Chains A and B, each alone.
Chain A
Amino acid sequence: SQKIEQNSEALNIQEGKTATLTCNYTNYSPAYLQWYRQDPGRGPVFLLLIRENEKEKRKERLKVTFDTTLKQSLFHITASQPADSATYLCALGVSGGYQKVTFGIGTKLQVIP
């Protein structure tokens, strides 16, 4: 069956370091992969999208890689700040009339000052 795995354990990291979050998937052939940020009591906020034919995408301090052979995406936050503390959701999209998006459960990141 299709499965998206994100580390359910919280990730604690020191301020200024690079945070790396992992999203693994099985039995999917995604057309694209997205990362969202979710703060407590708030809805997810779109951050980045990377397509199947792209290896890497950057936006300011964020970097996403997408390896369709390993079936894995890595999400990096460089020079992390306490304000980056949140839950980060990985989502896979499949092309079609309705571009079905399936979300992972998210990884909670805590940046320690």
Chain B
Amino acid sequence: DADVTQTPRNRITKTGKRIMLECSQTKGHDRMYWYRQDPGLGLRLIYYSFDVKDINKGEISDGYSVSRQAQAKFSLSLESAIPNQTALYFCATSDQNRPDTQYFGPGTRLTVL
């Protein structure tokens, strides 16, 4: 969905490096989410935010942090990347009036060597 953009689309990094993935949306949604997708495991929630001042941990937040710089921007950081954080990362948004429907970005493929 072009309304939700992610940068970079692909990234290769080394163990121990700090890396930031960025997400921007033009949908005007208040809620934003970060997921990772691994083969055979499906999408798993890392963090979610209901507005700029409301950030919550998801089911697999260890090793990650987030920043909601504005309503339209939500960044995911890996403080010290490790190989098992190699995955496909997706940002998603939803509207508070229709929170059950999420709109996903195109994803970032991250490889940690």
Interface residues of A (CB under 8 A from B): 4, 8, 32, 34, 41-46, 49, 89, 93, 98-101, 103-106
Please tell me if the beta carbons of B4 and A101 are within 8 angstroms of each other in the complex. Answer: no
Interface of B toward A, CB cutoff 8 Å: 1, 4, 40-45, 48, 50, 56, 90, 92, 99-107
The DSSP consensus for interface residues of chain B is strand
Output the least CB separation between A22 and chain B (Å). 15
Q: Would you list 24 pairs from A and B whose C-beta atoms are within 8 A, ordered by A residue?
A: A4-B42, A34-B100, A34-B101, A41-B106, A42-B106, A43-B1, A43-B4, A43-B104, A43-B105, A44-B90, A44-B104, A45-B1, A45-B104, A46-B103, A49-B101, A89-B42, A89-B43, A93-B100, A98-B48, A99-B99, A100-B45, A101-B102, A103-B44, A105-B42
Are the C-beta atoms of B40 and A105 separated by less than 8 Å?
Answer: yes
Q: How many A-B residue pairs have CB under 8 A?
A: 48
Assess the A44–B40 pair: CB atoms within 8 A. no
Q: How far is the CA of A43 from the CA of B23 in the complex (A)?
A: 13
Q: Is the CB of B56 within 8 A of A103?
A: no
CB distance from A57 to the nearest CB of B (A): 13
Residues of the B chain whose Cβ atoms lie less than 8 Å from the Cβ of A101 = 45, 100, 102
Name the A residues within 8 Å of B44 (CB-CB). 103
Q: How far is the CB of A37 from chain B (nearest CB, A)?
A: 11
Residues of chain B within 8 A of A100, CB atoms compared: 45
A30 to chain B, nearest CB (A): 11
Closest 5 CB pairs of A and B: A43-B104, A103-B43, A105-B42, A103-B42, A99-B99
